[in-house]
Structure 1
Amino acid sequence: MNDDLTARARIRDAAIKLFTERGIEGASIRDIATEAGVSSGLVRHHFGSKEALRAACDTYARDRMFELSRELIDEQGLENVNVGTVQPVAFPLQTYLVRSMMDGSETASALFLQTVEYGEEWAKTHGVVTDDFRAWSAVITAMKLGVYVLREQLELALGEDLASTSGYTRLNRAFVDIFSHPLLTPEQAKNLRKDH
């Protein structure tokens, strides 16, 4: 735990960790307070309720992920990204947001839709071949988030913890390999796109 963080930020980070591990129902205010090294009363003082704390976590994770996306894609460019430096920040937020979506968070679901809209616009300006940009972006977004839903099975298959730098790097290299090589010939794609 970073001693430089304010009590509010420590509580938020502890809640993100425990909500990710246990779900919203499985993490109590007392557990979050213990993880943050504060009293339950201080959690309630800063956030009022567990639902308000969850909403604050959702908003923080969403905003931070969009901030990271802007930094990495718009400012640095994907060709300059160092996955090893991204992983410690991105992975906990990604796993939290996926868990929050699974637990029914409106904020996390709205983030999914925002990500789909962003991907749709990106696809239109980057030469993606499709007659349904919305479906293309929605499926890509779901595929990328699905690795977090199936994290346990994926780690079993890879024999590696995705939270480690090497595991996260390996995951991202697999995405790069998949996204950078066509899986179908033009003829196969044309045939499979037909309405049968």
Structure 2
Amino acid sequence: MNDDLTARARIRDAAIKLFTERGIEGASIRDIATEAGVSSGLVRHHFGSKEALRAACDEYALGRMFELGRELVDEQGLENVNVATVQPVAFPLQTYLVRSMMDGSETASAMFLQTVSYGEEWARTHGVVTDDYRAWSAVIAVMKLGVYVLREQLELALGEDIASPAGYARMNRAFVDIFSQPLLTPEQAANLRKDNS
């Protein structure tokens, strides 16, 4: 039984890797089986179809990212997070979920909406000043996901692979710098809110 669980996890991890690299359509059951070191029949035994495998990958990635978020934010506190320990776990799941969302996954889209709702609640309870918490959270989420969608352009500009620990840390330091200081004066912000309402 333990071997079955290990094989199932290997298949899932291989599928996440190949779906991320090639998209859902570009990765066959045979490719996934080869990557996992198992037979195509074993993939079908555990998951039935590529669609069911994709759903299992989405569910796993979504659950693990929310679990990781709870561990980092709620249990450790952002002030205690070590990006070097987060990167190996978070990066593959983040890139997979973005790719899955772009490929039309309902689960990944639901994850995005859950993330927006979580951010909206966080903003309400952490003193964020805005007239529209939903829009605030949605725009932040899209900005953060944008680095994965435009990964090639970001890496070209940085001269560094954001999948590497150093590149991931550099990208996150930029986010910290952006989010930790105001870019507008209070007067500019008031004027732009007035003109765009």
Whether 1:29 aligns to 2:33 is: no
1:26 is paired with a residue whose SS is coil
1:11 alignment counterpart? 11
Alignment of 1:7-86 (within 5 A): 7-86=7-86
Residue 182 (1) aligns with residue 182 (2):
yes
Is 1:128 equivalent to 2:160 in the alignment? Answer: no
**Deviation at residue 195 of structure 1 after TM alignment:** 3.7
Separation in structure 1 between the aligned mates of residue 109 and residue 185 of structure 2, nearest angstrom: 35
Residue 105 in 1 paired to residue 105 in 2?
yes
Q: Distance in 1 between matches of 2:187 and 2:195?
A: 15
Letter in 1 for 2:94: Q
Aligned-pair CA distance for 1:60:
0.1
Q: Post-superposition shift, 1:98? A: 0.2
Tell me, in whole angstroms, the C-alpha distance in 2 between the residues paired with 1:45 and 1:159: 44
Q: 2: distance between equivalents of 1:145 and 1:34? A: 30
The alignment covers a number of residue pairs equal to 193
Q: Partners in 2 of 1:134 and 1:92 — Cα distance? A: 27
CA distance in 2, matches of 1:17, 1:75: 29
TM-score scaled by structure 1? 0.97
In the TM superposition, residue 54 of structure 1 has moved relative to its aligned partner by 0.1
RMSD: 1.1
Q: How does 1:92-171 map to 2 (within 5 A)?
A: 92-171=92-171
| CA offset digits 1:48-78 (Å, max 9, x no partner) | 0000000000000000000000000000000
SS at match of 2:124: helix
**Could you state the TM-score of these two structures normalised by the residue count of structure 2?**
0.96
- 1:51 corresponds to which letter in structure 2? E
% identical equivalent positions: 90
Match for 1:144: what amino acid? Answer: K
Gaps of 5+ in 2: none
What is the deviation of 1:185?
0.5
Aligned counterparts of 1:18 and 1:185: Cα–Cα separation in 2? 46
Residues 74-107 of structure 1 deviation map (CA, whole Å, 9 limit, x = unaligned) = 0000000000000000000000000000000000
Per-residue displacement from partner, 1:20-61 (whole Å, max 9, x unpaired)? Answer: 000000000000000000000000000000000000000000
> How much has 1:194 moved relative to structure 2?
1.1
Deviation at 1:145, TM superposition (A): 0.5
**What residue number does 2:172 align with?**
172
Q: Which residue of structure 2 lines up, in the alignment, with residue 88 of structure 1?
A: 88
Equivalent-residue separation in structure 2 for 1:35 and 1:98 (angstroms): 21
Q: In the alignment, residue 110 of structure 1 is paired with which amino acid? A: A
Question: For 1:171-196, what per-residue CA distance to the aligned partner results, in whole angstroms no more than 9, with x for missing partners?
Answer: 10000000001000011101110145
